[in-house]
Amino acid sequence: MSRIVKHLGLVDYTPTWHAMQAFTEARTDTTPDELWCLEHPPVYTLGLAGKPEHLIMPSSIEVVKCDRGGQVTYHGPGQLVVYLMIDFKRMGIGVRELVRRIEQSVIDLLAELGITAYGDVNAPGVYVAGEKIASLGLRIKNGAVYHGLSLNVDMDLTPFSWINPCGYAGLKVTQLKNHGATLTVAETAAQLLPHLERNLAVTKETA
Q: What is the pLDDT of residues 48-87, one digit of tens each?
A: 988 888 889 889 999 999 999 888 999 999 999 999 999 9
Q: Choose from 45-59, 136-150, 164-178 the range with maximum mean pLDDT.
A: 136-150
Please give the residue that has the higher pLDDT: either 94 or 13. 13
Q: Which residues are annotated as a binding site for substrate?
A: 68-75, 135-137, 148-150
What is the DSSP code string of 66-124?
-SSSSSEEEE-TTEEEEEEEEEGGGG---HHHHHHHHHHHHHHHHHHTT---EE-TTS-
Active site positions, annotated: 166
Q: Which is it for strands 34-39 and 4-10: parallel, antiparallel or unpaired?
A: parallel
Q: What is the mean pLDDT of residues 159-182?
A: 91
Class for the domain spanning 4-199 = alpha beta
Residue 133 CB contacts under 8 Å (≥ 6 apart), including other chains: 106, 110, 117, 126, 127, 151, 152, 173, 174, 175, 176
> CA torsion 131→71→94→206, rounded to 10°?
-100
**What pLDDT score was predicted for residue 61?**
96
Q: In the chain, what are the domain boundaries?
A: 4-199
Q: Please tell me the pTM assigned to this model.
A: 0.94
**What pLDDT score was predicted for residue 170?**
83
Q: Which residues are annotated as a binding site?
A: 68-75, 135-137, 148-150
pLDDT confidence band for 202 (50 / 70 / 90) = low
* Residues 161, 2: Cα–Cα separation, whole Å: 40
Residue 28 CB contacts under 8 Å (≥ 6 apart), including other chains: none
Across the beta sheet with 79-87, what order do the strands follow? 4-10, 34-39, 79-87, 144-152, 131-141, 126-128, 118-119
**What pLDDT score was predicted for residue 201?**
86
Least Cα distance to 34 among 8, 3, 9, 1 occurs for 3
Q: What is the mean pLDDT of residues 117-145?
A: 93
SS3 category, 180: coil
* Residues 36, 47: Cα–Cα separation, whole Å: 19
**What pLDDT score was predicted for residue 203?**
56
**What pLDDT score was predicted for residue 115?**
97
CA distances from 171 to 29, 73, 96, 116 (A): 40, 12, 22, 18
Dump pLDDT digits (tens) for 22-42. Answer: 999 999 999 999 999 999 999
Dump pLDDT digits (tens) for 77-122. Answer: 999 999 999 998 888 888 899 999 999 999 999 999 999 999 988 8
